[in-house]
Amino acid sequence: QLQESGPGLVKPSQTLSLTCTVSGGFISTAGYYWSWLRQHSGKGLEWIGYIYHSGSSYYNPSLKSRLSISVDTSKNQFSLNLSSVTAADTAVYYCARFTRPHWSGYFDSWGQGTLVTVSS
Amino acid sequence: QSVVTQPPSASGTPGQRVTISCSGSSSNIGSYSVNWYQHLPGTAPKLLIYGNSQRPSGVPDRFSGSKSGTSASLAISGLQSEDEADYYCAAWDDSLNGPVFGGGTKLTVL
């Protein structure tokens, strides 16, 4: 199981920070990428990026300059930091587990999602 | 706009068979396997089909997937009211160097 946590309201130009806690398994288990996705209101799903337990991370090029994903295997958590946010970053954010290898991978476990609103 | 296209809506009556299409290109569906997700708003999305046509444990065999060239489709037979949800296709994309989703299809059970 995966569970997102973090502030539901972030001011423009600040950093959006979310954490995903993994339960029922170890984040250090081989074969999975730990992922963040988002869904703008009325829109489809957008992959943000993912990280392997070793710390290797891969980002959506459209967000790469503002994005950082980290992993803490001791806490069985991984985190998202998105800097310089604007109203366009208002969305429901999901954490999910993505299987390897990446070219045939799929998201087989998801969090419930958390709404983050960017507003002053 | 997504590089993978789905119809925004689909509908059917209980017991009917409906199909949802997913169209991409050689950089995604044409080269990689397609996965399908079911999403009821306010809940966690659920993996429905992986590897074009494989069902995870627990997914009824009323759901089936197929792929041909740069297109894929999800078929739901024996439509039930609880099938009313949003459905997304997804595949790896070389241009994105990551997984790309279709825009989603809202299925209404009349």
The answer to whether A40 and A112 are in contact (CB under 8 A) is no
For chain A, list residues with pLDDT below 70: none
* Helix, strand, coil percent values for chain A (each to nearest 5): 10, 50, 40
How far is C-alpha A101 from the chain's CA centre? 19
Q: Do B2 and A103 touch (CB under 8 A)?
A: no
Q: For residue B24, what is the DSSP state?
A: -
pLDDT (tens digit, 9 = 90+) per residue, B42-68?
Answer: 899 999 999 999 999 999 999 999 999
Question: Considering only alpha carbons, which residue of chain A is nearest residue B87?
Answer: A44
User: Which pLDDT score is estimated for A101?
Assistant: 85
The whole-angstrom separation of Cα A50 and Cα B23 is 25
Picking from A61, A96, A103, the nearest residue to B32 by CB comes out as A103
pLDDT bucket at B107, cuts 50 / 70 / 90: very high
Picking from A44, A105, A111, the nearest residue to B101 by CB comes out as A44
Query: Within an 8 Å CB–CB cutoff, is residue A4 touching chain B?
Result: no
Query: Within an 8 Å CB–CB cutoff, is residue A103 touching chain B?
Result: yes
Q: Do B98 and A47 touch (CB under 8 A)?
A: yes
User: Which pLDDT score is estimated for B2?
Assistant: 74
